Amino acid sequence: MKEVYILYWDECCKKGDGLWCNNGKLAIHWPTFSNNFKVNKEFSKKVIDSFYYNYDYNNLNVMPIKFNYFRINDIATNNNVWNYCSKIIVYYEKN
């Protein structure tokens, strides 16, 4: 069993964990994320293996994030932010 944390979106006056929508696809702002979770290392492709997602809080089955690329300070994925009316839920497994 994996212990994971739910990542939060920036919302009205509440700072999130670096999640943002990049043309409909999920992106993670690395400086915000790494600061919030005290990740003291540079981004590497291996880090992406610690991210999972689904679209339903009642569904315990999570799938690995589909990495696209890392540029400047952002992890870009191939995951849609929205699945019909459900917003993506992103999980992080802290090692």
Residue 89 is assigned to a structural domain of this protein: no
Q: Which pLDDT does position 59 carry in this prediction?
A: 86
Q: Which pLDDT does position 56 carry in this prediction?
A: 93
More confident residue, 11 or 57: 57
Q: Which pLDDT does position 71 carry in this prediction?
A: 85
- Buried b or exposed e, range 18-50, using 16+ CB within 10 angstroms: bbeeeeebbbbbbebbbebeebeeebeeebbeb
The rounded distance, in Å, linking the Cα atoms of 19 and 9 is: 5
Q: Which pLDDT does position 88 carry in this prediction?
A: 94
pLDDT average, residue stretch 1-10: 79
Q: What pTM value is reported for the model?
A: 0.84
Q: Which pLDDT does position 85 carry in this prediction?
A: 93
Q: How many domains does the chain have?
A: 1
Residue 40 is assigned to a structural domain of this protein: yes
Residue 77: other Cβ atoms inside 10 A = 22
Residue 46 is assigned to a structural domain of this protein: yes
Q: Which pLDDT does position 12 carry in this prediction?
A: 58
> What range defines the domain where residue 40 resides?
32-81
pLDDT in tens, 14-51: 678 889 899 999 999 888 888 888 776 777 777 888 89
Residue 41 is assigned to a structural domain of this protein: yes
